[in-house]
Amino acid sequence: MSADPTQVLAFETDCHIFDGCGFPGPGLHSFMFEPLWGNADGDGLYFNKVMLLALLGSIIIVAFFWAAFRKPKIVPGKLQMVAEAGYDFVRRGIVYEFIGKKEGEKYVPLMVSIFFFVWMMNLWSVIPVAQFPVTSIIAYPAAMAAIVYILWMTLTFKKNGFVGGLKNLSGYDKSLGPVLPLVMGIELLSNVILRPFTHAVRLFANMFAGHTLLLLFTIASWYLLNGIGIAYAGVSFVMVIVMTAFELFVQAVQAYVFVLLACNYVQGALAEHH
C-alpha cells in the first residue's frame, strides 16, 4: 500500500526546485493511508486515519446536539441558538421546500443527520492535523447514497404499490405512444441505476478534486521556496489561502446539495403517479 500523504510530505521536506529533484505532486497515494491498527492485506479488520476521522466526526455531531438540547430553554443560550438555527435551516430551507411541511416533518431528523454528517466529514479537509475530507473516499458517499436509495425505493412501492411504483420509476405515460418503451427504459435506467450512482459521485468528485488542488498548491509553495522560485512560492501560497476559503464554501454547498437531492427523491416517491 502507498504511504500516508503526511509521511510523503515529511519525506519531501528537503526537496526544492533547482535541487535536482522532481515535483512531488499529489496523486492516488495522497488518498491512501497505512492502518493505525491491524493490516490492509485482507487479514482481519483494520482501522486507519479516515475511519478515525469519521468516528470522531460522528461523536462531535452527537455531542454538539446533545449539549445544545439536553436542557432546552424557552430563551435559548448561544449553543442552543446555533443548533436550532442549523436544524431549522435544514427543516424549513430544504425539507419543507421540497417535500412539504405535512409530509416532510417525519423525515427532518434523517435529513438533518445526513446534512451535518456530510458537512463535518467535508470540514476535516481544512482542520489542522486532520487535513483530509472523509467524503473524498467513495465508500462514505456511497454508503449515504445507499441509505437514501433504500428509503426512496421503499417509499415508492409502499405509497404506489408494485405496479404504481414501476410506473412512477419508469415515467409511464400511455400518451407517448410508440416511443413509450424507449422512454420507460431510459427512465428506469436513470432512476434505478444512475441516480444513486451520481448522488454519491457528485459529492465524492467535488471533495476529491478540492483536496487534490489544496495539496497541489501546498506542496508547490514548499517546492518553489528556493532561489528565484520564492516569488512563485508566494503566489502559490496565496492560492492555498484562496482555495481553502473556496473549499469551505464548496463543503457547505455539497452538504446542502446532497440533502436537497435526497429530499427530491423522497418527494418523487411520495407523489402519486397519474
pLDDT digits (tens, 9 = 90+) for 31-65: 888 888 777 666 667 788 999 999 999 999 999 99
pLDDT score recorded for residue 120: 96
- How far apart (Å, rounded) are the C-alpha atoms in residues 273 and 170? 10
CA nearest 4: which of 33, 44, 47?
33
- What is the share, in percent, of the chain residues with pLDDT greater than 70? 91
Coil, helix or strand at residue 47: strand
pLDDT score recorded for residue 126: 92
pLDDT score recorded for residue 42: 61
CA nearest 96: which of 231, 267, 228, 273?
267
pLDDT score recorded for residue 273: 53
pLDDT score recorded for residue 95: 95
pLDDT score recorded for residue 2: 40
| pTM for this model (two decimals) | 0.86
pLDDT score recorded for residue 44: 66
For 160, other C-beta atoms within 10 Å of its C-beta total 19
pLDDT score recorded for residue 222: 83
pLDDT score recorded for residue 11: 41
- Residues 273, 160 contacting (CB under 8 angstroms): yes
Phi, psi at residue 37, to the nearest 5°? -150, 140
The model's pLDDT over 154-169, given as tens digits with 9 standing for 90+, comes to: 999 998 888 888 888 8
Amino acid in the structure at residue 145: A
Using 70 as the pLDDT threshold, list the residues of the chain that sit under it.
Answer: 1-14, 19-20, 40-44, 227, 272-274
Average pLDDT of the chain, as a whole number: 86
Angle between the N-to-C axes of helices 78-90 and 108-123, in degrees from 0 to 180, rounded to the nearest 10: 110
Coil, helix or strand at residue 17: coil
pLDDT score recorded for residue 16: 72
pLDDT score recorded for residue 4: 47
- How far apart (Å, rounded) are the C-alpha atoms in residues 131 and 6? 9
The model's pLDDT over 116-137, given as tens digits with 9 standing for 90+, comes to: 999 999 999 999 889 999 999 9
Give the bridge partners for 37, in sequence order.
Answer: 47
